């Protein structure tokens, strides 16, 4: 069995390490624009008879991308930011007829990915859309909670990220692009626009060591995919915050700068693209933050009925972003080859992942602590 990982930033690195330590693939290929960075991982891969090779690849070269993907059993896309590269990589995987696991977390890109559904089905390919932390773990938790109920009425997903654990530069592009303005919520069978980090404020209790924090609606794809899987739900939303919370306003401010820019902006006597400046500035601020709380957390609350009674099922976990995103993607590749993820076309995790096996594997990997609660409402 052969797997190829596209990208070797923090998420890609985490995925490669997990595939090597726990997977059953005999060959792991790492294709990246920065092969030197990928080779830094090689000394950590010891003790197992698995062939790991590093290949130089610019995913913007469609012909080279298809050629690299062909012949593998599954491809994991960890190239960011998603809004730039997600669709073109999915198109290449479909052309190469290779199943794809991705970590997409842009709601606009999610709609564009669903446009590829028929093409993927015709090619006999499965594209698992957004199998990271949020979306990803959150979505599987929702399916697990829903399967404990007879009907679903409300779905609330939430997450918190430490600015002291900012991931790579590509994540900064995503945060400013996706979380600085509009967000979507599903309410009474309609998508409603709200403002990220402004609307929907509420205090949510996250597991230790994070604790209670105020969260807000954000521009993530969970309302889009979960409302497709559970159209009977009255409410589906996704809320989040950064800690410290002033990074919420920093994201909104940098996003406004990018939207208001008329072409390149002048910085220290040179002209640069506004988004390039904004992402680099955010990343620099986060990397330089003197803040010792690096853990993030996830939480889902699903309300529904069982035996006529209204119940709420809650799943929570905590951990670091690279592991929380890269490891689920690696697990997904393994599960797909073992038959624990099934289907064809473009499917979100809540539609195709065996949640029992997924959660058991998450616990085995010790990605973060897991808490499950149920109570009457």
Domain span at residue 314?
137-319
Could you tell me the pLDDT band of residue 149, with boundaries at 50, 70 and 90?
very high
Helix (H, G, I), strand (E, B) or coil at 185: strand
The answer to the question of residue 178 being in a domain is: yes
pLDDT beyond 80 at 375:
yes
Residues 333 and 303 in one domain: no
The answer to the question of residue 377 being in a domain is: no
Quote the Cα angle for 255-320-177, to 5°. 15
Q: How many CB atoms lie within 10 A of CB 193?
A: 12
In angstroms, rounded to a whole number, what is the distance separating the alpha carbons of residues 329 and 300?
Answer: 19
pLDDT beyond 70 at 32:
yes
pLDDT beyond 80 at 59:
yes
pLDDT beyond 80 at 367:
no
Return all residues near 69 (Cβ < 8 A) that are at least 6 apart.
4, 75, 92, 93, 96, 98
Tell me the average pLDDT across 233-239: 98
Q: Are 225 and 191 in contact (CB under 8 A)?
A: no
Residues 290 and 154 in one domain: yes
pTM for the whole structure = 0.95
In angstroms, rounded to a whole number, what is the distance separating the alpha carbons of residues 9 and 34?
Answer: 9
pLDDT beyond 90 at 322:
no
In angstroms, rounded to a whole number, what is the distance separating the alpha carbons of residues 169 and 81?
Answer: 9
The answer to the question of residue 222 being in a domain is: yes
The answer to the question of residue 255 being in a domain is: yes
Q: Is the alpha carbon torsion for 72, 76, 80, 83 positive or negative? A: positive
Residues 191 and 315 in one domain: yes
Helical spans, DSSP H, in the chain = 10-22, 35-39, 62-69, 82-96, 107-114, 117-123, 137-146, 169-179, 222-229, 246-260, 274-287, 321-338, 349-352, 355-365
The answer to the question of residue 158 being in a domain is: yes
93-128 pLDDT per residue, tens: 999 999 999 999 999 999 999 999 999 999 999 999
Return all residues near 203 (Cβ < 8 A) that are at least 6 apart.
212, 213, 214, 215
pLDDT for the residue 323: 85
Tell me the average pLDDT across 55-67: 96
| Range with top average pLDDT, 260-274, 301-315, 319-333 | 301-315
Residues 84 and 190 in one domain: no
298-319 pLDDT per residue, tens: 999 999 999 999 999 999 998 8
Tell me the average pLDDT across 177-199: 97
Return all residues near 53 (Cβ < 8 A) that are at least 6 apart.
27, 28, 29, 30
Could you tell me the pLDDT band of residue 320, with boundaries at 50, 70 and 90?
confident
280-297 pLDDT per residue, tens: 999 999 999 988 889 999
Q: Are 4 and 69 in contact (CB under 8 A)?
A: yes
Tell me the average pLDDT across 176-181: 96
Categorise residue 343: left if φ over 0, alpha if ψ from -120 to 50, beta otherwise: left
Could you tell me the pLDDT band of residue 268, with boundaries at 50, 70 and 90?
confident
Could you tell me the pLDDT band of residue 134, with boundaries at 50, 70 and 90?
very high
Residues 111 and 228 in one domain: no
Nearest residue to 155 via CA among 84, 220, 88, 87: 220
The answer to the question of residue 375 being in a domain is: no
Residues 82 and 184 in one domain: no
pLDDT beyond 80 at 365:
no
CATH number, domain of 24, equals 3.40.50.720
Nearest residue to 255 via CA among 168, 196, 185: 196
The answer to the question of residue 373 being in a domain is: no
pLDDT beyond 80 at 238:
yes
Percent of the chain beyond pLDDT 90? 84
Q: Are 221 and 106 in contact (CB under 8 A)?
A: yes
Give the residue carrying structure tokens 């592009």.
Answer: 173
Q: How many CB atoms lie within 10 A of CB 22?
A: 15
In angstroms, rounded to a whole number, what is the distance separating the alpha carbons of residues 205 and 297?
Answer: 10
CATH number, domain of 154, equals 3.30.360.10
pLDDT for the residue 217: 98
Average pLDDT, the chain: 94
Residue 275 token pair? 């988004």
Residues 143 and 123 in one domain: no
Query: Domains in the chain: how many in total?
Result: 2
pLDDT for the residue 66: 98
123-133 pLDDT per residue, tens: 999 999 999 99
Q: Is the alpha carbon torsion for 274, 275, 280, 286 positive or negative? A: positive
Q: Are 373 and 314 in contact (CB under 8 A)?
A: yes
Residues 240 and 355 in one domain: no
pLDDT beyond 70 at 366:
no
pLDDT beyond 70 at 26:
yes
Selected residue with higher pLDDT from 312 and 375: 312
Q: Is the peptide bond before 135 cis (omega within 30 degrees of 0)?
A: yes
Residues 213 and 325 in one domain: no
Residues 267 and 286 in one domain: yes
Return all residues near 271 (Cβ < 8 A) that are at least 6 apart.
264, 265
Helix (H, G, I), strand (E, B) or coil at 245: coil
Could you tell me the pLDDT band of residue 167, with boundaries at 50, 70 and 90?
confident
Residues 175 and 302 in one domain: yes
The answer to the question of residue 52 being in a domain is: yes
Give the residue carrying structure tokens 């609330």.
Answer: 156
pLDDT for the residue 345: 98
Q: DSSP letters of 249-281? A: HHHHHHHHHHHH--S-EEETTEEE-HHHHHHHH
Residues 144 and 196 in one domain: yes
Could you tell me the pLDDT band of residue 369, with boundaries at 50, 70 and 90?
low
């Amino acid at each position: 069995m052969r797997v190829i990982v596209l990208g070797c930033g923090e998420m890609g690195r985490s995925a490669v390490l997990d595939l090597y330590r726990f997977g059953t693939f005999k060959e792991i290929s790492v294709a990246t624009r920065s092969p030197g960075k990928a080779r830094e991982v090689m000394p950590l891969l010891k003790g197992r008879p698995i062939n790991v090779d590093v290949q130089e690849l610019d995913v913007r070269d469609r012909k080279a991308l298809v050629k690299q993907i062909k012949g593998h059993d599954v491809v994991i896309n960890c190239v960011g930011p998603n809004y730039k590269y997600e669709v073109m990589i999915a198109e290449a995987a479909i052309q190469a007829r290779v199943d794809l696991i991705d970590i997409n977390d842009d709601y606009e890109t999610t709609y564009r990915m669903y446009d590829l559904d028929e093409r993927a089905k015709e090619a006999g390919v499965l594209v698992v859309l957004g199998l990271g932390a949020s979306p990803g773990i959150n979505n599987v938790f929702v399916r697990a909670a829903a399967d404990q109920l007879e009907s679903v009425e409300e779905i609330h997903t939430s997450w918190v990220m430490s600015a002291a654990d900012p991931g790579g530069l590509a994540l900064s592009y995503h945060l400013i692009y996706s979380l600085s303005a509009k967000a979507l919520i599903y309410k009474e069978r309609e998508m409603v626009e709200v403002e990220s980090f402004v609307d929907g404020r509420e205090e949510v209790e996250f597991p230790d060591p994070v604790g209670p924090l105020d969260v807000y609606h954000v521009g993530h794809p969970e309302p889009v995919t979960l409302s497709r899987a559970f159209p009977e739900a009255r409410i589906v939303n996704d809320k989040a915050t950064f800690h410290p919370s002033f990074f919420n306003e920093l994201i909104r401010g940098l996003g406004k700068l990018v939207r208001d820019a008329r072409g390149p902006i002048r910085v220290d006597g040179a002209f640069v693209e506004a988004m390039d400046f904004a992402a680099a500035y955010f990343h620099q601020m986060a990397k330089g933050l003197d803040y010792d709380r690096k853990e993030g957390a996830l939480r889902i609350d699903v309300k529904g009925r069982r035996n006529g009674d209204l119940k709420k099922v809650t799943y929570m976990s905590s951990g670091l972003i690279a592991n929380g995103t890269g490891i689920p993607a690696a697990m997904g590749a393994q599960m797909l080859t073992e038959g624990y993820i099934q289907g064809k076309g473009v499917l979100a995790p809540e539609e195709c992942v065996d949640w029992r096996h997924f959660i058991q594997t998450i616990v085995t990997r010790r990605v973060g602590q897991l808490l499950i609660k149920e109570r009457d409402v």
